[in-house]
Structures are given as structure tokens and as C-alpha cells.
């Protein structure tokens, strides 16, 4: 579809927005209107929402955190597991209710669920009060779609990914830390995973564009970037004459930004050069999220993960030897089709050996269209839940054990917010991504401070500023 271009895509000046559609001039006044956005899913969706916010704001809308007060509601959805679907449909119920009293309310659905054909069909059949559905490949069309919407359902989703766009506007959630996409999509096709279908094949951004963006962020006073991709270690492999991820990381390090994180690393593409860059560059943080998924070779093969338990453990040992203070976290799925008790035990063995700082643990959820959805899902829900709680108990023990090592240590913390639980405190993350609550006022926000850890819990640390 070839959409006509938007006349006024610059920062709003108080003028109505003019737009030519099917030779008719549409004039809409969006100044003073408010939007509410709800984001589900991973960091990539959070960052996409920053783009959506910027696009809405340049039409003159402002954000509200009260949905009842809004004129435009956007749901940025996630499709990774069934419960992500359920949450979205639950929220849509609330939107329908609001639309009954607010006829002009515009409801937009985007994100990974929008890329699923079955979801679009369900919206047409059961939720026609929705105005706008757009996908992960055409967020850049949001302004046009919004302006031409005549309060009827309009679905604009492309199944094929487009080009990599540059100069994307973002309204970033933080003034100190920023997400930076380095690649879109994923080519790994793990058999359980919907992401390659909802986000398309891997497309890396050019390193020059990434470096320019980080340089600009440094100029604006940002202290931290997190490089984002579904499989950052495969960065550049889809481009000719491009840097490897290790080389890109070193180039980002040379921009002088104070702290660099990156997610997510697939163990399969993790190179020795990458370990070396993390070790050598002081501003590359010693934090690695290294999804395991399963500790059993047969299950790993069925999952299409392309490494064995032994290879994974060898990689972990290499990392720990080179970077002794490294923080390792992971993702684990329990109850993959056919997983036996003995196979699950192999996962527990790996957890016992690696002693992760923390882990995101999930019950396997079949996703329509993926190869695993055709496998016999024969582990009972009861068994899956029991395995999940045994795994969580083990993981939490190691989280506490690892956190306790921080007692009385002095660590650097980038302080970014008032503490959620106690307004007399501020909080931030260490170089190893540990959350620290610190006694002190909001004048500390935006600083990287030396903090002495005074107490350690499973999921956070407490500390005091030292001079
Ligand atoms: N690209 C990242 C992960 C993206 S999805 C990587 O490969 O590591 C985040 C996590 O969700 C995955 O690591 C996996 O543990 C989990 N996940 C993905 N599909 C799932 C499914 N069908 N059921 C349960 N968990 C799933
Ligand atoms: Fe999904 Fe695997 Fe790609 Fe991660 S690497 S996004 S789990 S297909
Ligand atoms: Fe969910 Fe899409 Fe991220 S499915 S986890 S929002 S890539």
C-alpha cells in the first residue's frame, strides 16, 4: 500500500494538521488531545512505544496515564506466550467499555500480536470497535493512519518486513539511559518461538548509523545505552562488509558513553572476541543475559537451539574465567513437548553449575504457526507448574547467594529514579544490573555514584552513598 505523505510531520506549532487522502484535504486539530499507551512484552516493544509516543506528540497529542482521560488509546502487544494474548484481550474489554461513553475514542492495536493473522481475524469478528491495527513493520505510518481514520476499523499490517529506517523520532522514557536498536527481527527460528514470524528476518542497522545515534545521545547527556536485538551476537551477518558484534561493541565503547549493556545474546554466536571486548572495555558492563532454555541435549535439539549442554557450560566457564565479576542471567522454558523428569533434571543441573544471578522462567506455551506447536504437548499443566516452582526455588536461592556477595562492597550505581517502595530513597542499577535502593534525595538522580551496600535481598540491594 502506498500512503500519501503527511504534510505536517514536524514538531507541532499549534496549526491544524493537514493531510491529503484520496484527493481530499483532511484537516484535524489534534492539539490538546491526549493519548494513553499500554506496552506489553520485551525491551524491543518498550522502545517501539518510545517511537509511537514521539509520532503522536508531533501531531500535538500529550501523554496521560489515565486511560479514561484519553482520546487515543494504543495497545502495543506481545505474542510470546498465550498469557500475553489473554492480557491484551482483557485490556481490550476495558477499552470497549470506555468507547461506549466516548464515541470518538480512537483505539489502536500494534506490536507482535497485530502481525498474527488469527488475531486480525478475531478483531474483525469480535472487536470491531477497534479503529486501527498496524504491525511491527509500519510504525512509521502511524501519523497517516491516525489522520485518515474515520472511526471505522482499519487494518494495516504487512507480512513482509520492509527496509531498516533511520532518523526515527523517539520520546525516550529516561534522560539518562537509552535503548538503541542494532538489529531487527530474528533468523534463528527456535521451534517454539513466534518472534521470527512477528518481527521478520534479521536486519542489522549499519554500524555508522548506530555510532552516530550513540554519539548524539552522549551529546544530549545520556550516560547509558543498551544495544537491542533478538540475537545481538549475530549482528552484521546479514550485511556485506559490516563490523562483527564484538567490533561494533568496541566502536560504541569508543564513543565515550559511560555504560553499555546489550541484550540478547544467543549462546551459539558468542565469540571469543566478544568476551575479550567485554573484558577490555571499562564502559562495557560485565552483565550477560545468556538464554539457556533447557539443559538437556535432546530437548535443545527439538528446540532448534544449535548448542549442547556441554557447549553451553564450556562457554560459561570461558566467560567466568575471563570476567570473574560477571553477572549471568538466563531464560528457561519448562515443559517443552515430551520433556521428561530426567530431562528437566538436566536443566536443574545447569542451574546448579552456573549459579545464575537471576532467571526468567516460563512454562512452554504453544504458538500457532511454529514447528513445536505440532509436537505432542504431553506434559500435564500440573507437572509444568510443579517444575516451574522447583526451578524458581533453586534460581531464587542462587540469586540471594550471589547478591550476598555484595555485602559491604562499594559499587557504582547509575541513579535514575525515586525508589518505588520508599519515597525517601532513590534507586538505580549497578554495572552488573543489580537494583539498589539508596538513602538519599532526588538531587542524586542522573549521577553515577559510589554506593556502599548495606543489605542484600534476593531481588534487590540496599546501600548508602559514600563520598
Ligand atoms: N531472542 C531472545 C529471546 C526472546 S523471547 C533469545 O533468543 O534469547 C524471550 C524468552 O521467552 C525466550 O528466551 C524464551 O525463554 C521465552 N519463550 C519464547 N517462546 C516461548 C514459548 N512459546 N513458550 C514459553 N516461553 C517462550
Ligand atoms: Fe526466538 Fe530463538 Fe530468535 Fe530468540 S533466537 S527470538 S528464542 S527464535
Ligand atoms: Fe513479545 Fe514481540 Fe518482544 S512477541 S517478547 S514483544 S519481540
| Mean pLDDT lowest among 88-97, 188-197, 218-227, 426-435 | 88-97
DSSP state of 30: -
Confidence bin at 5 (pLDDT 50/70/90): low
Q: What share of the chain is helix, strand, coil (3-state, %, to 5)?
A: 35, 25, 40
C-alpha to C-alpha distance for 435 and 430, rounded to whole angstroms: 7
pLDDT higher than 80, residue 29:
no
User: Residues 202, 208, 209, 213: is their CA dihedral positive or negative?
Assistant: positive
Long-range contacts of 52-56 (CB under 8 A, 24+ apart): 52/76, 52/110, 52/139, 52/142, 53/170, 53/171, 54/168, 54/169, 54/170, 54/171, 55/139, 55/140, 55/142, 55/143, 55/169, 56/142, 56/146
- From the CB of residue 282, how many other CB atoms can be counted at a distance below 10 Å? 10
pLDDT of residue 4: 46
Which residues have C-beta atoms less than 6 Å from ligand 1?
80-81, 192-193, 195, 230-231, 264, 266, 291, 293, 331, 333, 362, 364-365, 367
Minimum CA distance residue for ligand 2 atom 4: 230
Pairwise CA distance, residues 210 & 216, whole Å: 10
Angle CA 161–163–168, to nearest 5 = 110
pLDDT in tens, 222-265: 999 999 999 999 999 999 999 999 999 999 999 999 999 999 99
Cα separation, 289 vs 228, in Å, equals 12
Does the CB atom of residue 193 touch ligand 2 within 6 A? yes
Backbone angles phi, psi at 52, to 5 degrees: -60, -45
| Pocket perturbation via mutation, ligand 2, pick of 79, 185, 230, 306 by most ligand atoms within 8 A of CB | 230
Whether residue 11 is predicted with pLDDT greater than 70 in this model: the reply is no
pLDDT at 33 over 80: yes
State how far the alpha carbon of 366 is from the alpha carbons of 41, 174, 330, 337, 376, in Å: 17, 35, 20, 9, 10
Residue 435 has pLDDT above 60, yes or no: yes
Domains of the chain: 6-156 (3.40.50), 177-404 (3.80.30.20), 410-465 (2.40.50.140)
Confidence class for position 134, pLDDT limits 50, 70, 90 = very high
Between residues 159 and 340, which one has the greater pLDDT?
Answer: 340
Q: Cα(111)–Cα(97) distance, rounded to whole angstroms? A: 22
pLDDT-derived band at 20 (thresholds 50, 70, 90) equals confident
pTM: 0.95
Question: How many residues make up the chain in this entry?
Answer: 467
- Share of residues in the chain with pLDDT > 70 (%): 97
- Contacts of residue 436, defined as CB under 8 A and 6 or more positions apart, other chains included, come to 411, 413, 427, 428, 429, 430, 451, 453, 460, 461, 462, 463
Q: Is the pLDDT of residue 348 over 80?
A: yes
From residue 317, give the alpha-carbon distance in Å to each of 296, 310, 320, 352, 451. Answer: 18, 10, 5, 13, 29
Q: Which atom of ligand 3 is nearest to the CA of 44?
A: 3
Residue among 49, 77, 111 whose CB has most ligand 3 atoms within 8 A, to mutate: 111
- Predicted confidence band of residue 28 (pLDDT cuts 50, 70, 90): confident
Residue pLDDT, tens place only, 391-426? 999 999 999 999 999 999 999 999 999 998 888 999
Q: For the chain, give the mean pLDDT.
A: 94
Residue 355 Cα to chain centre, angstroms = 24
Amino acid at each position: 500500500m502506498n500512503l500519501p505523505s503527511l504534510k505536517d510531520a514536524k514538531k507541532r506549532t499549534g496549526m491544524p494538521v493537514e493531510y491529503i487522502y484520496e484527493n481530499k484535504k483532511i484537516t484535524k486539530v489534534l492539539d490538546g488531545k491526549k493519548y494513553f499507551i499500554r506496552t506489553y512484552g520485551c525491551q524491543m516493544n518498550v522502545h517501539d512505544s518510545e517511537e509511537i509516543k514521539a509520532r503522536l506528540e508531533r501531531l500535538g497529542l500529550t501523554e496521560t496515564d489515565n486511560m479514561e482521560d484519553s482520546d487515543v488509546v494504543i495497545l502495543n502487544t506481545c505474542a510470546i506466550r498465550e498469557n500475553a494474548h489473554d492480557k491484551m484481550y482483557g485490556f481490550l474489554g476495558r477499552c470497549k467499555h470506555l468507547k461506549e461513553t466516548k464515541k470518538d475514542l480512537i483505539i489502536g492495536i500494534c506490536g507482535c500480536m497485530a502481525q498474527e493473522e488469527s488475531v486480525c481475524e478475531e478483531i474483525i469478528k469480535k472487536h470491531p470497535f477497534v479503529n486501527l491495527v498496524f504491525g511491527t513493520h509500519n510504525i512509521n505510518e502511524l501519523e497517516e493512519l491516525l489522520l485518515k481514520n474515520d472511526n471505522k476499523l482499519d487494518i494495516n499490517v504487512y507480512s513482509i518486513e520492509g527496509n531498516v529506517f533511520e532518523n526515527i523520532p523517539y520520546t525516550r522514557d529516561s534522560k539518562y539511559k537509552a535503548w538503541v536498536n542494532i538489529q531487527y527481527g530474528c533468523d534463528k527460528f527456535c521451534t517454539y518461538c513466534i518472534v521470527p514470524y512477528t518481527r521478520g528476518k534479521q536486519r542489522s542497522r549499519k554500524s555508522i548509523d548506530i555510532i552516530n545515534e550513540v554519539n548524539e545521545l552522549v551529546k544530549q547527556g545520556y550516560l547509558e545505552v543498551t544495544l537491542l536485538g533478538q540475537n545481538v551476537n549475530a549482528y552484521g551477518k546479514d550485511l556485506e562488509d559490516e563490523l562483527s558484534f564484538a567490533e561494533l561493541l568496541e566502536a560504541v565503547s569508543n564513543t565515550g558513553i559511560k555504560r553499555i549493556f546489550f541484550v540478547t545474546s544467543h549462546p551459539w554466536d558468542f565469540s571469543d572476541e566478544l568476551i575479550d571486548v567485554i573484558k577490555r572495555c571499562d564502559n562495557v558492563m560485565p552483565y550477560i543475559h545468556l538464554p539457556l532454555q533447557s539443559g538437556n541435549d535432546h530437548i535443545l535439539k527439538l528446540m532448534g537451539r544449535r548448542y549442547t549442554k556441554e557447549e553451553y557450560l564450556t562457554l560459561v566457564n570461558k566467560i567466568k574465567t575471563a570476567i570473574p565479576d560477571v553477572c549471568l542471567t538466563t531464560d528457561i522454558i519448562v515443559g517443552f513437548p515430551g520433556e521428561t523428569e530426567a530431562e528437566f533434571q538436566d536443566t536443574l543441573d545447569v542451574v546448579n553449575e552456573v549459579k545464575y544471578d537471576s532467571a526468567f522462567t516460563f512454562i512452554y506455551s504453544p504458538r500457532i504457526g511454529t514447528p513445536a506447536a505440532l509436537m505432542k504437548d504431553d506434559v500435564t499443566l500440573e507437572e509444568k507448574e510443579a517444575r516451574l516452582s522447583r526451578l524458581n526455588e533453586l534460581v531464587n536461592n542462587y540469586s540471594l547467594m550471589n547478591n550476598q556477595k555484595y555485602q559491604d562492597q562499594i559499587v557504582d550505581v547509575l541513579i535514575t529514579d525515586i525508589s518505588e517502595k520508599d519515597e525517601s530513597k532513590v534507586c538505580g542499577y549497578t554495572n552488573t544490573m543489580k537494583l539498589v535502593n539508596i538513602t538519599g534525595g532526588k538531587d542524586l538522580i542522573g549521577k553515577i555514584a559510589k554506593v556502599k551496600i548495606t543489605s542484600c535481598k534476593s531481588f534487590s540491594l540496599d546501600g548508602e552513598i559514600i563520598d
